Amino acid sequence: MVKIQDLKQIAMLESMPEHLLLIIGQEARLSIFSSGTCLFKAGDIVDNFYMLIMGQVALTVALNPDMDVILENIQSGRAFGSTTLISGGPAYYSAVCQEPCETITLSGPNMRKIFEKDHELAFYMMNGVARQYKKTMDRRAKMIVKTLERHPELKASIHDIGELAPVY
């Protein structure tokens, strides 16, 4: 069981009513991982949803056997592994602890069962996931546009540049 005070440290849960936080708290567990721990690899079925209380987790994609690209460094207060809340499908990226980490961990299959019965909880949880996703996509689109502004030769070769920053 996880305390409501711990859950309130997670940005995507900030607007969730306390009666729903209690449900999550009963289902959640605190987990501690050492630096270098791989929580899941690209292609793995993601079984858990992670909300980071302390530490940093790198989300990486392998470009080739010798090179990984960091998509994002997840900081305290953020969450990842939302695939498990939707379908339990395979991960596109790997998640590796960059330092000792403490997470609030939820079982995806258990949460999907709870969502079927408690639509209010499902709404608030997925609304939080969607808000976090939108912030991430907006930040990435701005980074791409900024990079293209610095490299006009690249910008000139892109015909649908307006599609890089869609409005959701």
Question: Residue 12 sits in a domain of what CATH number?
Answer: 2.60.120.10
**Stated pTM of the model:** 0.83
Spatial distance between the Cα atoms of 168 and 166, rounded to a whole number of angstroms: 6
pLDDT at 159: 62
Domain count within the chain: 1
pLDDT digits 0-9 by tens, 21-74: 999 999 999 999 999 999 999 999 999 999 999 999 999 998 888 888 898 999
- First and final CA of the chain: distance in angstroms? 35
Spatial distance between the Cα atoms of 24 and 112, rounded to a whole number of angstroms: 12
Spatial distance between the Cα atoms of 168 and 134, rounded to a whole number of angstroms: 8
pLDDT at 158: 67
What domain range includes position 152?
Answer: 4-164
**pLDDT bracket for residue 167 (50, 70, 90):** very low
pLDDT at 132: 86
- Mean pLDDT lowest among 20-34, 38-52, 105-119, 153-167: 153-167
By three-state DSSP, how is residue 23 classified?
helix
